[in-house]
Structures are given as structure tokens and as C-alpha cells.
Amino acid sequence: MGVSSPHRLLVLIAALCLPLGAWAAEVSIAVASNFTAPVKLIAQQFEKDSGHKAILAFGATGQFYAQIKNGAPFEVLLAADDETPARIAREGLGVPGTQFTYAIGQLVLWSKKPGFVDPQGEILKSRKFNKLATASPKLAPYGAAAMETLDKLGLTASLTPMLVEGANINQTFQFVSSENAPLGFVALSQVYENGKIKEGSGWIIPPHLHQPIRQDAVMLTRGKENVAADAFMRYLRSEKARAIIRGFGYTAE
């Protein structure tokens, strides 16, 4: 016996009245370390607005690429560059047409000591420090930008013996914030709040000293059928998310 039209209508109304959490899904997201603080806020707002939950993992973009190739169960990648998402799409690990730039990062030479880093970065030409922290240029785009900056300034040869490399930009920040290194190249987002550097001293690296740090997102093939993955990718382009991104010193396209 078929279900009567009035009964079908009641079922539909009941379904529409279900709480948002009844339709909630989860999305597993690999996030470049420099984007840790803003994505935590975005994920909180995303869950509040959509009911879906974002499961976040943080690390170096190069490491995530290797893990994704080896079958890691991520569904979205927020990289610290634009080349890795493009490679992932070419190799069939990402969904074609889903790549976009979610932020453009800024590099800063930073010290926890107030007044130690001057506004022009002349400290790099001094002999007032014995260690300079950077992220690995092979694994982290911010590390590559740091080495490009030293090269443009003609300081690579003299400062290479002082370099202390972190596997990712979070580890590099820890070197400097713990004062194991007196200064280092970190992401501006790690030390920026309310329109200024919140602690210590820093020199925001002029854009002409390195290639733009375009940070792209891509949906991975594992996320293709996940409604939460699709919702997060769309949410990342919303004005709410863009406002958070700008608040941490990034340019949001």
C-alpha cells in the first residue's frame, strides 16, 4: 500500500524540523602550520554556522604532500603555496577546478626582544646574533621565501652558517619565541594582532624581496562526496572567513 500524500507531507515537515546536528558531517583538513591560528577560529565559526565539524591537522606543506601520496585520509588541503595543490590536482589526488587562493602570506624577521630588530632589517648585517631561525626551504614555502630574501640582500653566504632550520614554520616560531634563536623568519600571522606586532620587535619583509606566498586550497579526492568538505571550501571564501584571515595579517583574495 502506498503512503498517502498527507503522510508524506508530515514526514517532510518532520525532517525539516530536525536539529542542524542531525545532518552534520566531518571533514579532515591538512593545514599549513602558519595558518594555525586563523583556521582554528574559522573552524569554530564554520561549525556554529553549518553544523559540520572540521578536524584539523597541522604541519609542513611538503610533508602533507608526501602523506597524501601515501594515502593519508585528508579531504581538504590548505597549503602554504600554490604549487603543491596544483601538483596534487595534476596527479589525480585532488578534485579538478577546486583550487583557489585563500590567503597571501607575509614574512617577518622577528625577535622576542623589544627593539632588537630595527624597522629596516639592518640587524641582519650586524654581528649582534649567532643564530637565525628559518623553516626548511625544501618543506615550507615560508622557508623558501626566507632564503630568497637573504639571496636578494646578498647575505646568503655570510648567514648560512648561523641558520637553524625548523621542519615547519611553527617549529621555527618556537625556536625564536623560546629564545633558543635570538631572531628568525616567521609568518606574520604568528606574531600579529590588532594591526601590529603584538610582542618583541620585527621587520615585515618587503614583497619585492621574495615571490608572493600564495596559499591555495584544494579539495582532495577523498573529500569529493563529503558534504562537509564542500561546505568548508565554500565557507573559506565567505566574508566571515575572509575577515578572520585579514585580521591575522594576510591578504584575502
Q: What is the pLDDT of residues 54-63, one digit of tens each?
A: 999 999 898 9
Mean pLDDT of 217-240: 97
User: What is the domain partition of the chain in residue ranges?
Assistant: 21-104+213-247, 107-204
Instruction: Determine the length of the chain.
Output: 253
Q: Which CATH number applies to 107-204?
A: 3.40.190.10
Mean pLDDT of 215-235: 97
- Report the pLDDT value the prediction gives residue 3, as an integer from 0 to 100: 43
Q: What is the 3-state secondary structure (H, E, C) of the chain?
A: CCCCHHHHHHHHHHHHCCCHHHHCCEEEEEEEHHHHHHHHHHHHHHHHHHCCEEEEEEECHHHHHHHHHCCCCCCEEECCCCHHHHHHHHCCCECCCCCEEEEEECEEEEECCCCCCCCCCHHHHCCCCCCEEEECCCCCHHHHHHHHHHHHCCCHHHHHHHEEEECCHHHHHHHHHCCCCCEEEEEHHHCEECCEECCCEEEECCHHHCCCEEEEEEEEHHHCCCHHHHHHHHHCCCHHHHHHHHHCCCECC
The CATH architecture assigned to 21-104+213-247 reads 3-Layer(aba) Sandwich (3.40)
- Report the pLDDT value the prediction gives residue 213, as an integer from 0 to 100: 93
Q: What is the pLDDT of residues 149-203, one digit of tens each?
A: 999 999 999 999 999 999 889 999 999 999 999 999 999 989 988 788 999 999 9
CB 148 within 8 A of CB 245: no
| Predicted model pTM | 0.77
| Domain 107-204 in the same topology as domain 21-104+213-247 | yes
